Amino acid sequence: MGSAGAIDPARFLEFVGGSELAVVFVSVHPLHAFNEDVPERLRERGDEAAFGTIDLRDLVLGAGPALPRLAEELRSCGAPSAVGVAPGYWLFREGEVIAWASGLPSFGDGWALARSGLVGAIFFVATGRIGYLGRALRLAAADAAARRLADDFHAAAAAPRAQAGHADAGARAGAPGPEELSRAYELLGVPCTASDAEVARAWRRRVVEVHPDRAARDPVEFERRTRLAAELNRARDTIRAARGRERPRASA
């Protein structure tokens, strides 16, 4: 798909964690295609990101234990909660979903579509080729949707982490005890003095290492890896919860 390559489901977490910003387009059908205007519009706003595409079915089957966390982060970004893992465009920062957009035209795009429709109608009258009208409307819809998405993603990427658009479920829970926190650091293999970025990198590395798909042919090992991956997710959330209580949140 041009500037956005297909993501191997087994390497999904590695892809979204490999760059500071990553945009993933989750498709539900071959006709549900990546909007090639999106990368250009984001670059115009000064945002450099890795771009990738993945089929919704492949994501659900390949994300493994990380799927509930992804679904929760998406819901906090305004994605349809009934769907769980929503199709559309996901913006990741250091492996965390911070924004979501459907990428579809909205009522706010009506003026841009009307102007392009007028241009297409003029060419249709002049040439008699109805294709000009349809092409003008398609291009206008894609450009308008890309501009709106780029504005939203740029704002999310520029926002302070506490305001990035996703709720920290762990921070809302009770404060973890000293033993639980110590165990969390031990599981991730980092000291308690590690920075937030170091904790995030350690979590991504460990989750990739123990991904259940690496042992798909061994039911016992698959189950062990599934449990371990879930423990790693809880360890990361425990550390985030503790640190969220230690430092005040940025004011709105």
* Residues spanned by the domain of 54: 5-105+142-163
State the pLDDT at residue 169.
Answer: 45
The reply to whether 118 falls in a domain is no
The answer to whether the CB of 34 falls within 8 A of the CB of 27 is yes
Q: 37 with 77, same domain?
A: yes
Reduced to 3 states, what is the DSSP secondary structure of residue 95?
coil
Q: Which residues of 187-206 are buried (b: 16+ CB within 10 A; e: fewer)?
A: bbebeeebeeeebbbbbbbb
pLDDT the model gives residue 174: 56
> So what's the pLDDT on residue 191?
93
* Residue 188 and residue 93 share a domain: no
pTM of the model: 0.62
Give the integer Cα–Cα distance in Å for 206 and 79.
28
Same domain assignment for residues 230 and 151? no
Q: Alpha-carbon distance 196 to 194, whole Å?
A: 7
Q: What is the predicted pLDDT for the residue at 50?
A: 94
Nearest Cα neighbor of 41 from 118, 146, 134 is: 146
What pLDDT does residue 227 have? 82
Q: Are 205 and 156 found together in one domain?
A: no
Q: Are 101 and 153 in contact (CB under 8 A)?
A: yes
The predicted structure's pLDDT at residue 249: 45
Which CATH number characterizes residue 212's domain?
A: 1.10.287
Per-residue pLDDT tens for 163-173? 444 444 444 44
Spatial distance between the Cα atoms of 202 and 11, rounded to a whole number of angstroms: 16
pLDDT under 70 in the chain at which residues? 1-2, 81-83, 105-137, 160-175, 245-252
**103 torsion bin: left (phi>0), alpha (psi -120 to 50), beta (else):** left
Cα gap 93→98, rounded to integer Å: 7
* pLDDT the model gives residue 22: 94
Q: Do 15 and 94 belong together in one domain?
A: yes
Q: What is the pLDDT of residue 19?
A: 83
Within 19-168, residue ranges assigned H as helices are: 37-44, 56-62, 67-76, 110-127, 131-158
Residue 78, both tokens = 């305004």
| Same domain, residue pair 12 and 87 | yes
Position 83: which residue type?
A: V
How much is the pLDDT for 125? 52
Asked if 207 contacts 189 with a C-beta cutoff of 8 angstroms, the reply is no
98 shares its domain with 177: no
Which residue in 239, 246, 129 sits closest to 189, CA to CA?
A: 239
Q: Are residues 10 and 98 in the same domain?
A: yes
Residue 144 CB contacts under 8 Å (≥ 6 apart), including other chains: 105, 109, 112, 113
| Per-residue pLDDT tens digits for 122-172 | 544 556 655 555 565 577 777 888 888 898 898 888 876 544 444 444 444
95 and 190: one domain? no
CATH code of residue 71: 3.40.30.10
